[in-house]
């Protein structure tokens, strides 16, 4: 059975699927078209409306039959919230999604990073890809309740309490979008890729200085990528890390010629000026962390306005360039953290094998170049095949992969929180290791950990 990490995806078998999240949670589902827009209130499946064409909710179990979904349905987003409304998810046990097929056999399992103050979590999404369906692990939290997330998908709910409107919304790489309008033409701002007429850079660097973070410099490649992405969001009328043609914001960065080691993004609608944008980031926990991240050295920002709604769509990109030196340091940090876990378990440390490292790096690069995420390459090669092709003669090979993690610490922590990946890291027989990393693709970062004995 596959263990997914945030951003990971896998093809689904045909027929109905059951998705179960045991624990003190309410499970919901939102059925949307390709743009992330629901067709009506009937597309929201929850405890007070437990059925829709192709979807049925019973207690903690959601049954989805993709072939029976309404016409035009292209995505089903699985959402959880506390059974006791208003309770932060961080006070509850970590949720785990269990997916089984029509015969009851396990398909996959996903445990996201433990939420903190969030009260709603986008756990996973089923989405149409060609003639089949795939599952993507999300793990994106919201702090404004189930009604807020439903409104973002276009569902009209009535609540007893009236929450204060938020001036903007930040969404993650794979999070669904708010309202969409297909026929509008955006009015694009005139932000230059090489200058900062808005004063955004001064505002951002002032906030960074106050936090003890070094200044960033505007990079024309990042600004160009930000402008293209903001324009795409304004044209579609909704926030998303992917444009209508499937191009992700991370792919735009690499296509612009900027190879990165670390990257962060703000995708926001609501603020009208750079000052409002920076103020929003400083008041919002995750956006605040990105704005002040010490590792970032470059930035790019752009905006576009939807002429019909008047909504302003912002894309801010933050990055550290990829160099041979910092790539080597990152790989060494992954090895160091991995060996620390082995030492805690009383196991000998792993030695770096240049041939395993070459195979691992080639696989991470290949996943970005050929837009896949799997231990099996599109040509059918497996980890041991790739190790042999790199010249390795080790008899036993193991592999961990991950995507979306922004640091060595984050990726090792994610692997250690997954039983299958943890087993590889703590396998007594392994003696050597190689690390690969590449930026780009749909999920931003791709990591490979190759073991040998």
**Any bridge partners for residue 65, and if so which?**
none
Are the CB atoms for 448 and 435 separated by under 8 Å? yes
Strands 106-110 and 2-4 come out as parallel
Per-residue pLDDT in tens (0 to 9) along the chain, 453 residues: 578 887 788 999 989 999 999 988 889 898 988 767 777 777 888 877 788 889 999 888 999 999 999 888 999 999 988 887 667 888 888 899 999 998 889 999 998 887 777 778 888 999 998 889 999 888 777 655 555 565 566 654 443 333 333 333 333 233 322 222 222 222 323 333 445 666 888 999 999 999 999 999 999 999 999 999 999 898 888 888 888 888 889 999 988 888 999 999 999 888 888 899 898 888 888 888 999 999 999 999 998 988 888 888 999 999 999 888 889 999 999 999 999 999 999 999 999 999 999 999 999 999 998 888 999 999 899 999 999 999 999 999 999 999 989 899 999 999 999 888 999 999 999 999 999 999 988 889 999 999 999
**CA 332 – CA 335 distance, rounded (Å):** 5
Alpha-carbon dihedral sign for residues 421, 422, 423, 426: positive
Backbone angles phi, psi at 408, to 5 degrees: -60, -45
pLDDT in tens, 1-31: 578 887 788 999 989 999 999 988 889 898 9
User: Which strand ranges, in their side-by-side order, compose the sheet holding 351-352?
Assistant: 351-352, 432-440, 444-452, 397-403
Question: CA torsion sign, 336 to 342 to 97 to 159?
Answer: negative
Among 434, 420, 271, smallest CA distance to 350 is for 434
Tokens standing for residue 256: 């612009």
Predicted TM-score (pTM) of the model is 0.57
Two tokens at 55? 């979807």
Q: Which residues, other chains included, contact 282 with Cβ-Cβ below 8 Å and sequence gap of 6+?
A: 207, 288, 291
Report the alpha-carbon distance of residue 259 to residue 223 in Å, rounded: 14
Residue-level pLDDT at 421:
92
b/e string for 211-250 if b means 16 or more Cβ within 10 A?
eebeebebbbbbbbbbbbbbbbbbbbbbbbbbbeeebbbb
Q: What is the pLDDT of residues 416-431, one digit of tens each?
A: 998 889 999 999 999 9
42: left (phi over 0), alpha (psi -120 to 50) or beta: alpha
């Amino acid at each position: 059975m596959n263990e997914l990490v945030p951003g990971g995806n896998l093809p689904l078998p045909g027929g109905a699927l059951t998705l179960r999240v045991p624990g003190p949670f309410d499970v919901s589902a939102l059925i949307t078209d390709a743009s992330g827009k629901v067709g009506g209130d009937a597309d929201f499946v929850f405890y007070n409306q437990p059925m829709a064409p192709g979807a049925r909710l019973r207690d903690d179990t959601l049954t989805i039959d993709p072939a029976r979904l309404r016409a035009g349905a292209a995505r089903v987003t699985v959402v959880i919230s506390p059974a006791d409304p208003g309770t932060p998810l961080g006070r509850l046990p970590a949720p785990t999604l269990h997916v089984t097929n029509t015969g009851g056999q396990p398909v996959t399992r996903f445990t996201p990073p433990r939420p903190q103050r969030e009260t709603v979590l986008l756990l996973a999404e089923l989405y149409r890809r060609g003639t089949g369906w795939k599952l993507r692990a999300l793990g994106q939290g919201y702090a404004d309740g189930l009604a807020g997330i439903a409104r973002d998908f276009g569902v009209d709910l009535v609540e007893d309490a009236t929450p204060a409107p938020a001036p903007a919304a930040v969404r993650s790489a794979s999070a669904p979008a708010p309202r969409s309008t297909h026929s509008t033409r955006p009015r694009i701002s005139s932000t230059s890729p090489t200058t900062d007429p808005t004063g955004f850079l001064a505002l951002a660097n002032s906030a960074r200085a106050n936090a003890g973070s070094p200044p960033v410099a505007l990079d024309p490649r990042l600004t160009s990528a930000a402008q293209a992405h903001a324009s795409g969001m304004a044209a579609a009328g909704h926030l998303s890390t992917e444009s209508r043609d499937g191009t992700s914001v991370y792919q735009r960065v690499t296509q612009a010629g900027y190879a990165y080691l670390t990257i962060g993004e703000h995708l926001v609608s609501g603020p009208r000026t750079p000052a409002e944008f920076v103020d929003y980031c400083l008041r919002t926990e995750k956006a605040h962390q990105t704005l002040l991240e010490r590792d970032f050295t470059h930035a790019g920002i752009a905006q576009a306005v939807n002429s019909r709604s008047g909504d302003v769509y912002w894309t801010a990109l933050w990055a550290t360039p990829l160099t041979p030196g910092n790539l080597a340091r990152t790989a060494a940090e992954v090895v160091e953290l991995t060996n620390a876990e082995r030492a805690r378990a009383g196991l000998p440390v792993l030695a770096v094998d240049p041939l395993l490292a070459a195979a691992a790096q080639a696989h991470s690069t290949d996943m970005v170049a050929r837009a896949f995420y799997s231990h099996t390459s599109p040509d059918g090669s497996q980890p041991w095949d790739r190790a042999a092709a790199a010249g390795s003669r080790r008899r036993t090979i193991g592999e961990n992969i991950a995507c979306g993690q922004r640091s060595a610490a984050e990726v090792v922590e994610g692997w250690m929180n997954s039983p299958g990946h943890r087993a590889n890291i703590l396998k007594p027989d392994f003696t050597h290791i190689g690390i690969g990393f590449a930026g780009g693709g749909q999920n931003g970062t791709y990591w490979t950990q190759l073991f040998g004995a």
